[in-house]
């Protein structure tokens, strides 16, 4: 009886960890380009730009359709004490049927940045952090 209980418990754990724990979540990725399937090209969290500025792409992937007509990217620069300082908000028009979208963004200053993404109703979608450095 103990063996049957043990085997049942073990199989339950394996089943639950392998099947139900495969959770898809929204994400933001930073990359040099995005392919036609919505996959990042040269993804990184560290980018080198010239002192005149440089751009990269913010790629947002969702496990569902966005169901709104716009999104916003709120950009904060992290200071030497680790505090977030508001830099800017970038708005983007999107189609409600999209489950992924990207935006090309230009940076002019080096530093560490937090980016938060919100839908058109100001609901939080995802966030990420990148480091911009001069080459």
Q: What is the pLDDT of residue 13?
A: 44
The arithmetic mean of pLDDT across residues 49-63, rounded, is 97
Q: What is the pLDDT of residue 24?
A: 72
Tell the residue number behind the tokens 């993804």, with chain if given: 43
Mean per-residue pLDDT of the chain: 88
Q: Which two tokens stand for residue 24?
A: 């898809």
Pick from 24, 29, 49: which is nearest to 40 by CA? 29
CATH hierarchy code of domain 25-134: 2.60.40.1930
Q: What is the pLDDT of residue 2?
A: 54
Q: What is the pTM of this model?
A: 0.81
| Statement: residue 5 has pLDDT above 60 | no
Q: Rounded CA gap, 105 and 117, in Å?
A: 13
Q: What is the pLDDT of residue 10?
A: 43
Q: What is the pLDDT of residue 3?
A: 54
Question: Per-domain residue ranges for the chain?
Answer: 25-134
Name the strand (E) or helix (H) holding 56. Answer: strand 54-61
- pLDDT tens digits, 64-120: 999 999 999 999 999 999 999 999 999 999 999 999 999 999 999 999 999 999 999
């Amino acid at each position: 009886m103990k063996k049957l209980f043990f085997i049942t418990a073990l199989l339950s754990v394996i089943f639950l960890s392998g099947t139900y724990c495969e959770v898809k979540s929204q994400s933001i990725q930073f990359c040099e380009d995005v392919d036609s399937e919505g996959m990042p090209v040269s993804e990184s969290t560290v980018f080198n730009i010239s002192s005149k500025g440089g751009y990269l792409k913010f790629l947002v992937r969702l496990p569902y359709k966005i169901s709104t007509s716009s999104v916003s990217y709120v950009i904060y620069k992290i200071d030497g004490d680790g505090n977030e300082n508001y830099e800017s908000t970038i708005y983007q028009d999107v189609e409600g049927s999209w489950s992924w979208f990207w935006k090309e963004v230009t940076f002019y200053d080096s530093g560490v940045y937090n980016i938060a993404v919100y839908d058109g109703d100001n609901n939080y979608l995802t966030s990420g952090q990148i480091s911009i450095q001069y080459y």
